Amino acid sequence: MTRIQSGWPLFRRSFCDHVIRGEADYLRIANYICTNPQKWAIDRFYRP
């Protein structure tokens, strides 16, 4: 794991990227990003 000067990891093991391969893929991801915060209240792992 690469670290920057502050000591924090530069890359996270759980990080997953995705290549957007078309408009439908883009719209699905954009919808997820826009609606995700609304779902936090019902997420059993979310602690405000």
**Residue 13 covered by a domain:** yes
Q: Per this entry, what is the length of the chain?
A: 48
**Residue 22 covered by a domain:** yes
Domain span including residue 2: 1-39
**Residue 45 covered by a domain:** no
pLDDT of residue 11: 64
**Residue 27 covered by a domain:** yes
Q: 7-42: string of b/e by CB count within 10 Å (b at 16+)?
A: eeeeeeeeeeeeeeeeeeeeeeeeeeeeeeeeeeee
Q: Are 2 and 10 in contact (CB under 8 A)?
A: yes
What are the tens digits of pLDDT across the range 12-45? 666 677 899 999 999 999 999 999 888 888 888 8
**Residue 29 covered by a domain:** yes
Domain count, the chain: 1
Distance, C-alpha 11 to centroid of its chain = 14
**pLDDT band at 1; cut points 50, 70, 90:** very low
**Residue 48 covered by a domain:** no
pLDDT of residue 47: 77
**Residue 44 covered by a domain:** no
**Residue 46 covered by a domain:** no
pTM over 0.75: no
